[in-house]
Structure 1
């Protein structure tokens, strides 16, 4: 007769002691609730941000562009291109301000002094010094802005008053008020 082998009795957990099962249940409960409240916090933050949209600060529509004597006759001045997207041209008959946006797809043309033209780097549109388009896909001349003398004799460019370029029309003749004659 073989002796029967019995397993030793399991030790009983003491009253109030943490069992492995209770420990794992507590850990997963903490992880679950932590994840839930983290997600709720993120959605709450997104919901609150909806009521406080980002504010876009744009430069003012009118700006002082300095004194007329700062611009030599025959010059195209690009000092306002980066901030206001404006070129100021001083011709013998007066000043005018050109919008620095290509009328084809809204690119930013550059002034090429040697060739005396604005050239769009994206699609090759070309504009003469007066803003008239003469090459490339641009459908019309560059737009102009109102330019006038302010108090103290400074040039003021008002971008809220725009003179749109019209295909085949000379902007000098079409909009004589876009030229500041001094």
Structure 2
């Protein structure tokens, strides 16, 4: 009788283990995707020219700069265009410097040294009904494709 009970217990264990493995195989583990739209505050918070690193964890730098004769706010990607490392902002030098292979970017995102093949990408910007600045990381603008002057690639500071 004990042998029969042990046999049944072994069979139940084998089927339960096989069932768990089968379920793990059939149900893929989908990674949790971060949101593509990030609320970063009121436009007036970025009135002073400079680099705002508050959203670096979201792969966004908010930059307030003088460009084409007007002050603009842009959202730069923090991803180096060489191999995908995260450059650091060096305020004393006024540049972004990639720690992996030495690529350098000016405050506006244009590459000027190192192996980076192109400037940093810019994200789309908009302002919602309550006046909050929204960065849309699903919409990317590239300088070499002449997209930086698209009206969604920056916001003028009033």
**1:140 and 2:118 are equivalent in the alignment:** yes
Residue-by-residue CA offset, 1:97-140 (whole Å, 9 max, x unaligned): 00110000011111111111111111111110010001111100
Counterpart in the other structure of 2:16? 41
Superposition map of 1:67-82 within 5 A = 67-82=42-57
Relative contact order, CA 8 A, sep 6+: which one is greater?
Answer: 2
Counterpart in the other structure of 2:81? 103
Equivalent residue for 2:34, pick from 50, 54, 59: 59
More helix by share: 1
Q: Within 1, Cα distance between the matches of 2:102 and 2:15?
A: 52
TM-score normalised by the chain length of structure 2 = 0.82
Matched residues, number = 150
C-alpha RMSD of the superposition: 2.4
Counterpart in the other structure of 1:10? none
Between 70-79 and 141-150, the greater mean CA deviation after superposition? 70-79
**1:153 and 2:131 are equivalent in the alignment:** yes
Q: Within 1, Cα distance between the matches of 2:122 and 2:14?
A: 52
Q: Within 2, Cα distance between the matches of 1:96 and 1:176?
A: 11
Counterpart in the other structure of 1:176? 149
SS at match of 1:46: helix
1:55 CA displacement: 3.0
**1:88 and 2:66 are equivalent in the alignment:** no
Q: Within 2, Cα distance between the matches of 1:90 and 1:136?
A: 25
More strand by share: 2
TM-score normalised by the chain length of structure 1 = 0.72
SS at match of 1:176: coil
- Stretches of structure 1 that go unaligned for 5 or more consecutive residues are 1-25
